[in-house]
Amino acid sequence: MINRPNGQAYTTATYRLFDDKADFHKKAEGIAVGLTVGSWTDLPEVAKRQMEKHLGQVVSVEAHEPEGAAPGERYADITIAYPDLNFSRDLPALLVTVFGKLSMDGRIKLLDLNPSADFLQAFSGPRFGIAGVRGLLGVHDRPLLMSIFKSVIGYDLDGLREQFLQQALGGVDLIKDDEILFENPLTPLEKRVETCIGAARQAERETGQKLIYFTNLTGPTSKLRENARRAIDAGANGLLFNVLAYGFDALAELANDSSIDVPIAAHPAMAGAFYPSPYHGIAAPLLLGKLTRIAGADLSLFPSPYGSVVMPKEENLAVQAALVDKALPLREAFPVPSAGIHPGLVPLILRDFGGDVVVNAGGGVHGHPLGAAAGGRAFRQAIAAVLAGQDLTAYAAAGHEELKLAIERWGVRQA
């Protein structure tokens, strides 16, 4: 139970602390004091009364000593409440408060944050979210399909246009730049957008299908808003953003800007520096789920449990849960499990993530024996098969040649 002097608001943080010898309750008290008022027992009573409203509070300490565990595996999950009075209404201030110097204090990982309702009022969250992105596309009854440029570096505008067109003709809903495509002489921002949107319009005339192009938003942080508006003025209807390289606050600034009125997809580049260790960093569901959603991403990409950059399924599903958790008073964001995805994985993706998911593929589209357009059609056929409750191989054999060839190349993953 949190003591709330004058009814003030608190944000809680939950940590996992590993230590064979520590008194976890004493350690928790040290964190609560050390990250807020700095000292407590040595303060005179007058100062204590003055500082009490700034003091962190221990909410819970759950110690675990796994039976038969190796030395060093004794741990505790500790929850601390931090007065909102201590930090400004921005994510950098919150993160520095709850995990700044603490992140360097031994084997400790930040598992979760529960910002107060007061704190969350400073954030609009996803401008579009799942429902809004579906509304832009007019697709409400199936998972969405995204494809990725592979590759983009070294292509001129003509080469980029042809690659975009082939992806679009395959029936994908979303196409994104590669996260490593930055401003360059061959494909400068406005020209790249104009070229790709022109190809999108041509594909729409042929297929009748709308498409969102997520242009990689790059440049110095001070130029991000300007570059976003340049892209939108050139016709961009989506933005890709390397959120961890630029910071959550940069994403929040973009999402809160009414002139940047297109969906934003958050790329997880650099996430491996934060979440994989059980002993350090920030847990994936918080990093790529809750914080990314609070900051305003409409879609969040993260490693899938099946492909080439693997995240354990338990963590995957926890990321998804954070993106769609109705307890958070913000629009739900699309989960985009990524890396190494091919049509034979579609049954697992839909089984594990349900219908509100983006199936995202690069090599699984471009590596199709008949080219990228056929690769897109193979994915659409795989999605249709799963939604119809049919076996993928049987569906492919019943006149769906693109899916058949994809299965011959990559197989069908069973579990």
pLDDT at 21: 83
Reported confidence tier of residue 241, pLDDT bands at 50, 70, 90:
very high
Reported confidence tier of residue 46, pLDDT bands at 50, 70, 90:
low
> What residues are paired with 238 via a beta bridge?
214
Residue 149 has pLDDT above 70, yes or no: yes
H runs (alpha helix) in 36-89: 45-51
Residue 173 has pLDDT above 60, yes or no: yes
Domain borders along the chain are: 5-120, 129-410
pLDDT at 307: 72
- 5-120 is classed CATH 3.30.70.150: yes
Q: Between the CA of residue 36 and those of 61, 121, 236, 275, what are the distances in Å?
A: 18, 23, 44, 25
pLDDT at 1: 66
Distance between CA atoms of residues 338 and 265, nearest Å: 13
Reported confidence tier of residue 41, pLDDT bands at 50, 70, 90:
low
Tell me the per-residue pLDDT of 20-34, one tens digit each, with 9 for 90 and over: 888 999 999 999 998
Reported confidence tier of residue 42, pLDDT bands at 50, 70, 90:
low
Distance between CA atoms of residues 264 and 289, nearest Å: 14
H runs (alpha helix) in 178-234: 189-207, 224-233
Q: Between the CA of residue 71 and those of 21, 31, 181, what are the distances in Å?
A: 10, 24, 45
pLDDT at 16: 97
pLDDT at 43: 56
pLDDT at 51: 72
- What six digits make up the tokens of 7? 């009814």
For 359, what's the count of Cα atoms within 13 Å in the CB-facing half-sphere?
35
Residue 327 has pLDDT above 90, yes or no: yes
Spatial neighbors of 203 by CB under 8 A, at least 6 apart, are 165, 168, 169, 209, 211
- Residue 281: how many CB atoms within 10 A of its CB? 19
| CA-closest candidate to residue 213, choices 229, 192, 230 | 192
Residue 302 has pLDDT above 90, yes or no: yes
Mean local confidence (pLDDT), 365-393? 96
Mean local confidence (pLDDT), 266-283? 96
Q: Between the CA of residue 130 and those of 45, 76, 138, 250, 322, what are the distances in Å?
A: 52, 36, 12, 21, 13
Distance between CA atoms of residues 343 and 327, nearest Å: 33
Distance between CA atoms of residues 43 and 52, nearest Å: 11
pLDDT at 91: 97
pLDDT at 4: 73
pLDDT at 77: 97
Tell me the per-residue pLDDT of 219-232, one tens digit each, with 9 for 90 and over: 999 999 999 999 99
Distance between CA atoms of residues 216 and 241, nearest Å: 6
pLDDT at 306: 85
Is 298 in contact with 333 (CB distance < 8 Å)? yes
pLDDT at 39: 62
SS3 annotation, 240-272: EEEHHHHCHHHHHHHHCCCCCCCCEEEECCCHH
Specify the DSSP class assigned to residue 285: I
Q: Which of 114-123, 141-150, 176-185, 203-212 has the lowest mean pLDDT?
A: 176-185
Exposed (0-12), middle (13-18) or buried (19+): which is 348, by Cβ within 10 Å? buried
Residue 152 has pLDDT above 60, yes or no: yes
- What six digits make up the tokens of 138? 């007019």
Q: What percent of the chain has pLDDT over 90?
A: 81
Q: Where does 129-410 sit in CATH, by number?
A: 3.20.20.110
Distance between CA atoms of residues 202 and 225, nearest Å: 29
pLDDT at 113: 98
Q: Is the pTM of this model over 0.85?
A: yes
Distance between CA atoms of residues 366 and 372, nearest Å: 4
For 335, what's the count of Cα atoms within 13 Å in the CB-facing half-sphere?
27
| CA-closest candidate to residue 274, choices 287, 291, 292 | 287
Q: At 74, give phi and psi (nearest 5°).
A: -75, 130
Catalytic residue among 48, 53, 101, 290: 101
Q: How does the average pLDDT of the chain come out, rounded?
A: 92
Residue 101 bears catalytic tag:
yes
Mean local confidence (pLDDT), 336-364? 94
Reported confidence tier of residue 309, pLDDT bands at 50, 70, 90:
confident
Reported confidence tier of residue 260, pLDDT bands at 50, 70, 90:
very high
